[in-house]
Amino acid sequence: MSKEKKSIMIDYSPSELAYGVFQNLSPLIEEKFRQILEEKDDKNAPPLSMAESADWLGVSRTTFSRLVSKGELKFKSLDPSNPKTKKYFLKSDLQDWLTQNQTKTINELKSSANGNS
């Protein structure tokens, strides 16, 4: 006999069961849909200048330049041999950097302290 847990739906009408499944799956489907749309937009978006990229990230141009100098942000250059040439940034690379450097919110910290993941 299998050791997997099995649940038995007792006293649920088909509409109650469907609504319960909808409640659990709806946020997951919406998040995946939003991710797909964002990825599509980022792939088709034209590259951004340094000023546009700094604005998009919500940081000062000085901070952005420092991140570029440290090599934390990927960029494309028309003349890679010249360090002073104009640099272009892809939104997908900026989004990846944000994801990697994301800090937890107070609620996420409280949740993890309480043993929730």
The arrangement of secondary structure in 18-102, i.e. its CATH architecture, is Orthogonal Bundle (1.10)
Confirm whether pTM is higher than 0.95.
Answer: no
What SS3 state is found at 76?
A: strand
Per-residue pLDDT of the chain (117 residues; tens, 9 = 90+): 456 666 665 777 888 878 888 888 888 888 887 887 676 666 678 899 999 999 999 999 999 999 999 999 999 988 888 888 899 999 889 988 988 887 777 777 777 777 765
Q: What are the structure tokens assigned to 22, written together?
A: 């909808």
**Domain chopping of the chain, boundaries:** 18-102
Give the model's pLDDT for residue 32: 82
Give me the helix-helix angle, 14-44 and 91-100, nearest 10°: 120
Please report, in angstroms and rounded to a whole number, the separation of the first and last CA atoms in the chain. Answer: 32
Give the model's pLDDT for residue 3: 65
Give the model's pLDDT for residue 42: 63
Residue 28 and residue 46: Cα distance in Å, rounded?
A: 29
Residue 72 and residue 59: Cα distance in Å, rounded?
A: 14
Give the model's pLDDT for residue 61: 94
42 within 8 A of 91, measured Cβ to Cβ? yes
